[in-house]
Amino acid sequence: MKIIFISLLWLVILIASHAGDISKPDKYDKKMAWPVIIATQSNPVAEVMKKENYFVIHAGGKGTEVKTKVDKYLKQLATRYHIDPMRIYATSFSRGGHEVLLQTMNNPHMFAAIAPVCNDLRSGPYVNYVKYLNNNPTLFIHGSRDSFRATAKKLMKTMLDAGCIVEWKDYEGGHTPKPLFNKDMSPILSFFRKHKFNPYPKKIEHVVNHKRYARSFWTQGWPIEDKGNLGAIYKVEVKEGNKIEVTANEKISVVMLLLNKNIIDMDKELIVTSGEKVMFKGKPKERIDLKFRDSKISYTKIYPVLWEELEKIRQEKWGIEKIDALEALEPLEKEKK
């Protein structure tokens, strides 16, 4: 009995340690860094995906449950396989596509690009907040007879009007992912192939709906109080001449800038303004806190960004040099010439 118990215990540990895994590319070679696709509801099937050049992980659920799983499963995967932190993507079906949009709005630095399939986001404040996905290339992809085409078209128009990178694709079928997930993923994969993650965008607009979602790339905006659905919004834009313009609505207390040489010239004077007001002037610091108004909560914590944690694991485990598997195995037309 003792031997059986120990064997079962090891089996449970093994399964838990690989939780979320769906498929590994047949061509996997640890000398290259490989992309990963996250799915939250329905999954591209292993039989299809193992022939492609992507890992696939399932992280089901909603809200913080999904975020926790994505962080955990990707870190686990990064210790076992050489994955590329600049090529983490997400796709999912129906309410899962809806969830992918929410996750990206709350954590804009999580995915290089997203492809919600037949997403059903159609009400609430988030239908307007999609306009802040200006650093998150998005592919809306729907069956030709899908019942959520009209609402998705409205989301797309909101994003286009805001200057977001967004595309639309159709496939034959109704409200089902099977033509894609079970047969042909090429419409989604061709979109992902075009987009690598940019960790240092020069323009950031972010909605903080809870303090846990304060971080956006190299900025962090603290709300005035600790509660959900706040609609606290801030905007940061790097201008010419080593200047940064910051604006914040009445629900933001502090905007934090986490600076480095990829964002500004750290050796020259930096000027940070909000409208006519100079918020900071002097030698740049790695962290600058810009206070707009008093807050009921502490704003000292810096939330980590996943790509930095994954890149640290990658370098420690696989070395500093990185060969992009997609660029090596799937050159774009312009790269072939």
Per-residue pLDDT at 5: 43
* Res. 19 pLDDT band, cuts 50 70 90: low
Per-residue pLDDT at 294: 87
Cα–Cα distance measured from residue 235 to residue 212, given in angstroms and rounded to the nearest whole number: 18
Tokens 């802040």, residue located: 132
Supply the pTM of this predicted model: 0.91
Per-residue pLDDT at 331: 78
How far, CA to CA in Å, does 151 sit from each of 105, 154, 244, 265?
18, 5, 36, 43
Write out pLDDT tens, residues 96-126: 999 999 999 999 999 999 999 999 999 988 9
Write out pLDDT tens, residues 171-193: 999 999 999 999 999 999 999 99
Does the pLDDT of residue 228 top 60, yes or no? yes
| Amino acid at residue number 76 | Q
Q: What average pLDDT does the chain have?
A: 91
Buried b (16+ CB within 10 A) or exposed e, 143-163: beebebbeebeebbebbeeee
Give the mean model confidence (pLDDT) for residues 10-27: 61
Strands of 182-313 (E only): list them: 203-208, 215-216, 219-223, 232-239, 243-248, 252-258, 270-274, 277-282, 287-291
Query: Among the ranges 6-15, 43-52, 108-117, 294-303, which has the highest mean pLDDT value?
Result: 108-117
* Other CB atoms within 10 A of residue 78 CB: 22
Whether CATH 3.40.47.10 fits 16-199+306-336: no
Sequence-distant (≥ 6) Cβ neighbours of residue 336 within 8 angstroms: none
What's 76's DSSP letter? Answer: H
Tokens 């047949």, residue located: 26
Half-sphere exposure of 24 (CA within 13 A, CB side): 13
What's 241's DSSP letter? Answer: T
Q: Is 285 helix (H, G, I), strand (E, B) or coil?
A: coil
Per-residue pLDDT at 300: 76
Sequence-distant (≥ 6) Cβ neighbours of residue 272 within 8 angstroms: 243, 244, 245, 246, 257, 278, 279, 280, 281, 288, 290
Is the sign of the CA dihedral 264, 286, 84, 209 positive or negative?
A: negative
Tokens at residue 304, please? Answer: 């980590």
Write out pLDDT tens, residues 191-223: 999 999 999 999 999 999 999 999 999 999 999
Instruction: Tell me which residue of 56, 68, 115 sits closest to 90, measured CA to CA.
Output: 115
Per-residue pLDDT at 2: 46
- Contact call for residues 260 and 286 (beta carbons, < 8 A): yes
The boundaries of every CATH 3.40.50.1820 domain in the chain are 16-199+306-336
Least reliable range by pLDDT among 8-17, 24-33, 138-147, 244-253: 8-17
* Res. 15 pLDDT band, cuts 50 70 90: very low
Per-residue pLDDT at 257: 98
Does the pLDDT of residue 17 top 50, yes or no? no
Least reliable range by pLDDT among 5-14, 106-115, 302-311: 5-14
Write out pLDDT tens, residues 245-274: 999 999 999 999 999 999 999 999 999 999
Least reliable range by pLDDT among 59-73, 176-190, 220-234: 220-234
